A and B are shown apart, each in its own frame.
Chain A
Amino acid sequence: MGTSFGRGGATTFQQDLQNADCILIEGSNMAECHPVGFQWVMEAKARGATLVHVDPRYTRTSALADIHVPIRVGTDIAFLGGIVNYVIEHDAYFHDYVVAFTNAPTIVGEEFKDTEDLDGVFSGLDADQRSYDPASWQYEGGPVQAASGQREQEFDEKLREREAQGGGEKRHQPSVAAAGRGESHGSGGASVPASVKRDETLQHPRCVFQIVKRHFSRYTPELVEQVCGIPQELFLKVCRTLTENSGRERTTAMAYAVGWTQHSVGVQYIRTAAILQLLLGNMGRPGGGILALRGHASIQGSTDIPTLYNLLPGYIPMPHAHQDEDLDMFIEGASTEKGYWGGMRSYMVSLLKAWWGPHATEDNDFCFDYLPRLTGSHSTYETVMAQLDGECKGYFVVGENPAVGSANAAMQRLGMANLDWLVVRDFSLIESATWWKDGPEIETGELQTEDIPTEVFFFPAAAHTEKNGSFTNTQRMLQWHHAAVEPAADARSELWFYYHLGRIIREKLAGSTDEMDRPVLELQWDYPTEGAVAEPSAEAVLAEINGWDAEGRPLASYEQLNEDGSTACGCWIYCGVYTTGVNQAARRKPGQEQSWVAPEWGWAWPANRRIIYNRASADREGKPWSERKAYIWWDDEEAKWVGHDVPDFDPAKSPWHRPPAGATGAEALAGDDAFVMQGDGKGWLYVPSGLTDGPLPAHYEPQDSPFPNLVYPHQQRNPVRQVFSRRHNRYHPGPGQPGSEIFPYMLTTYRLTEHHTAGGMSRWLSYLSELQPEMFCEVSPELAAERGLEHNGWATVITARGVIEARVMVTDRVAPLEVQGRMLHQIGLPYHWGPNGYAKGDAANELANISLDPNSHIQEVKAMSGDIRPGRRPRGAARTALVEEYIRRAGITPETGMEVRGGR
């Protein structure tokens, strides 16, 4: 999303679904996983909208859909790509919108070679490094920098230029993928290159439109049928439904969640959707957009103020050990010459001022050196590898349960078993806290408690009902919650834990003269505390995040931030949430008392905007595209943009504005550059920069798949996916390779309404446990007949990573599909259970491999091959033996499935 549109958040808000004429939910089971938000889908349906659900299973969402399309897991790019092809072939794209607001007319450089030319890969592949050099993907006429995503791709470029000019010393240049920087769901800025060449007739053979057209021409209905197992008639029905409900008069919205992201090409799934929505002209308009349904209550918040290793608050990249030696160099690398990221210095300086206060001065680079530095990719899975390799010695597990919830649960536990210390903070004794005494490896004898060196500390955590704070939800909206009760016994909030941990560390270090301790000692760490347990004030933290000026007055907008250290701000995109000293996130004005957009409920970043890129809701001249889809428009009399929401545009910039030559930053944006964060002000059908695995989506098979890639017969998998072949993380043979028939079925994992993720918040509760008491698998009657599975009986499911047992649910809701001439059975596995808690069961993640999307480092748990047999799994050592037997039978070696090219 970030690379396509400029910001990584959902482009719309759930309530706006009510205005859609058609809603496509794909890669999400919205009714089950977002039941409250689903009411807006129902609202739209009540008004006549059509609901399409594309899901391998017939779910509670499908039950309410007008069209349900069962799909083979891992093939959404082929499906969506097929629709892109249909839209272009049938001239069903919204021509005026495409020309005005997308990069369709932009000419791409001559060096670019598509998958069409290179047998399934893009130009720039470095097979040894398992990475792409994106240099050849650029527009003709010069580089453009991505608003989010892998921003340092251009940074490398810039540094090289500098070296060429003799400006810098010779540097070590780690590959982009290895550096793992800047996975961003965030807000970026645009770098507008001086000379983007455009052909508004869309005829130039190297214009983006023609490239996209050629690229997707393979994705015919016949191919979709073969790859996805979707009958052509049904596919065409979806095509017609989407195109009939898009364009000038109508809008279609799309919603997705982790059914799209958890793939080794996950980001490109969303890219395909973005292309489609741009072609159909649905972005920035009411009832349109792409709704990324985010997961945990504040998962959006935890990327905005990140728990990610590679970001600082507000999507400022984390400095790199070698590249970012001082503030100037950092700013040069991370910011853009033009556009909103041009303000990077003021955001960064204000952040440093918020953290180190008076210690941060112009002379010491505002304590820039105090920030930790990246030495490479440290995503959660790479950290597990580091644990296994003995490099990572201590680990905090806070608000997660990797022994159940992370792919390849055994690897997670074995990693933790190789630590010196482990801290777990949770409500109850989750599996991640007790694996050392009762985990599966203890049962199989692989680990003995006495031999495990890890010292495990468990701290009870306070729940959100027991503490003040905010959630940032799926639509980028902050909502404040007030403590309803005091935490019981020793349970404490995260805020309490980290504040007092910091306080104690600082007390212990007090008086130290060691340089190393100065970042800690000089930190501003003085929040007021309240109550018997000395709980730090969450509102004080919010005030710091919002920021203040030199006089300590709360700021109203990030435009007020300064480079000179006179302002402090903990997260620039949240600046304004505490404007006038009032907690804007705590606003709860009832819906009946305000417009349907409800701007006075909570506070959304950026600047309390609810639909972003909303300039695109009006045509080039600033008039709503349609009478019935008016959202933001240019008011001639007032000479400004007005409408139902905060305009995502310079409010006074007229639609006819053309930037003067040499303009910079936002000034350089023309009156019809609706995607204001983008380097060229346009929505990107083609992504010249910012992605690690190609400028256009291409269908690749999942890491473990029994089917050959029909789209690119010589390229089975995403060449630059991240793979880690380890003893406990072996991959399955590719199609046609000996042993591939050992794992003939596709497995997919997902959620149920009744439980929450790895179960820490539901398996301990009797009211939820009784609703879904046990791990089960969903199989079709046909598969049950084929394998002798009995409804209500037991089944054993096996991959090269592990084996689990589950009760059998034989149901028509999981339909077998005809794929490439054979019947494919898919097996559904909810992933909520583990051995602890009240409702128990085997964890689906024992089966999952660790193979990651190279952009987001998200694991591929939505599609993998496996086997199933009736009966319960073996116990004790026989459990491991069964997996080993499968590995042997399938002839799996450390090299299996590791290919970059080919792979069949």
Chain B
Amino acid sequence: MVANPFASLLEHGDPATAAGYVDHPPRMGFFTDTSVCIGCKACEVACKEWNHVPEGGLQFTGMSYDNTVGLGADTWRHVAFIEQRKRVGQQVTGAAADGAAPAESGIRWLMASDVCKHCTHAACLDVCPTGALFRTEFGTVVVQEDVCNGCGYCIPACPYGVIDQRHGDGRAWKCTLCYDRLGVGAEPACAKACPTDSIQFGTLEELHLRADRRLAQLHGAGVSDARLYGRDPDDGVGGDGAFFLLLDEPEVYGLPPDPIVTTRDLPAMWRRVATAAALVAGTVAVSFTRKAP
């Protein structure tokens, strides 16, 4: 029996199982709690150090303290900095916008460390024609650098803007969730380096519980802005292996508000492609059986 090739797009449940692993370790992932991030960028640097990711160029952007701009081939962890005229929780600060309504007053500086989401339904992996991208036994998504031919398909496929082609190298690169470290039972470099535990690594199951608790705790404490992102297994990508606690709308952090794995619509596309192909054949056939006007 031929396995349904779209199974991995459709099913809930464990992506490693869907990928055919039997007896595999639990799914591993990240819960990044941005409410305790201090923007130290240790995660960015640790990732680069460990994975020998090249420097991304010197550029003063004026985007607060973010001179890295976004995730890409040379940035697998990216710390976003957002300055807002808004308060975080009930913080009291004199550096406030006077005259504004209390809720509007104050300032806050949101910091968030972004990373590949290791989607349950990973578009990058689905569309990769070479099989360079693959699902690991930990449920993560990894590029095999010796297979990738730089076709670039995964790049526009990723709904989060994560994977990218490296200049001068031609291949696609992204976070591997430190596959090599996981293999020897070590924590990923970025999580290891994080001084405040903003990046929490563990089995996805446990992280989900922890995140739910944390959300309840923050809501209870009046931080009503807090929300989880990528936590929901019913979302458009089947939930993220790396999910987040955010203090504002996802797009404020450069994240899509409602991402959907593009290949979810692929069966429909194929149907229409087939119809269109039939139309081509039919039209041509008709044109040869008719007299021209």
Contacts and interface: CB of A to CB of B under 8 A. Distances in A.
A768 interface: yes
Nearest to A42: B196
A767 B196 contact: no
B58 interface: yes
A244 to B, nearest CB: 15
Contact of A772 (B67, B109, B196): B67
Contacts of B55: 766-767, 769-770
A138 to B, nearest CB: 41
B266 interface: no
Interface in B77-118: 83, 85, 88, 90-97, 107-111
A306 to B, nearest CB: 30
A35 B62 contact: no
Contacts of A839: 58
A767 B107 CA distance: 30
Given A63-B108, A767-B45, A812-B83, A69 B38 contact: no
Among A64, A68, A770, A812, find the residue whose CB has the most chain B CB atoms closer than 10 A. A770
A38 B91 contact: no
Contacts of B196: 38-39, 42
A689 B128 CA distance: 76
Contact of B111 (A36, A39, A63, A814): A63
A815 B60 contact: no
B254 interface: no
Contact of A773 (B42, B48, B60, B85): B60
Contacts of B48: 767
A791 B90 CA distance: 30
B165 to A, nearest CB: 19
Contacts of B44: 771
Interface in A267-325: none
A68 B92 contact: yes
Contact of B107 (A58, A61, A234): A58
B153 interface: no
A449 interface: no
B95 A70 contact: yes
A776 interface: yes
Interface string A26-69: 00000110011011001000000000000000101111111111
For chain A, give the interface size range.
Answer: 35 or more
A58 B56 contact: no
Contact of B60 (A32, A39, A62, A792): A792
Contacts of B92: 66-68, 234, 237
A58 B36 contact: no
A60 B109 contact: yes
Contact of B195 (A36, A234, A754): A36
A231 B96 CA distance: 12
Contact of A230 (B94, B107, B197): B94
Interface in B23-76: 36, 38-42, 44-45, 48-49, 55-62, 64-65, 67-68
B45 A813 contact: no
Given A39-B195, A773-B67, A839-B58, A69 B94 contact: yes
For chain B, give the interface size range.
Answer: 35 or more
Contacts of A896: none
A332 interface: no
A791 B93 CA distance: 24
A811 B83 contact: yes
Nearest to A754: B41
Contacts of B58: 769-770, 773-774, 838-839
Among A60, A230, A838, find the residue whose CB has the most chain B CB atoms closer than 10 A. A60
A9 to B, nearest CB: 23
Contacts of A36: 195
Given A31-B40, A792-B60, A813-B109, A58 B93 contact: yes
Contact of A38 (B41, B45, B64, B195): B195
Contacts of A776: 60
B36 A42 contact: yes
Among A39, A62, A767, A769, find the residue whose CB has the most chain B CB atoms closer than 10 A. A767
B107 A812 contact: yes
Contacts of A537: none
Contact of A767 (B49, B60, B67): B49
Given A767-B48, A771-B67, A60 B60 contact: no
Contact of B94 (A31, A70, A809): A70
Contacts of B62: 791-792, 807, 809
A210 interface: no
Nearest to A791: B62
Contacts of A838: 58
A383 interface: no
Contacts of B65: 60, 752, 754, 772
Interface of A: 31-32, 35-36, 38-39, 42, 58, 60-70, 230-231, 234, 237, 752-754, 766-774, 776, 791-792, 807, 809, 811-815, 838-839
6 contacts: A68-B92, A752-B65, A767-B55, A774-B58, A792-B61, A814-B95
Ordered nearest first, which 10 A-B pairs have the shortest CB separation?
Answer: A766-B55, A773-B58, A815-B95, A792-B62, A68-B93, A63-B109, A35-B40, A31-B38, A774-B60, A67-B92
Interface of B: 36, 38-42, 44-45, 48-49, 55-62, 64-65, 67-68, 83, 85, 88, 90-97, 107-111, 195-197
Given A38-B196, A754-B41, A766-B55, 6 more contacts: A35-B42, A58-B93, A770-B57, A770-B59, A812-B83, A815-B96
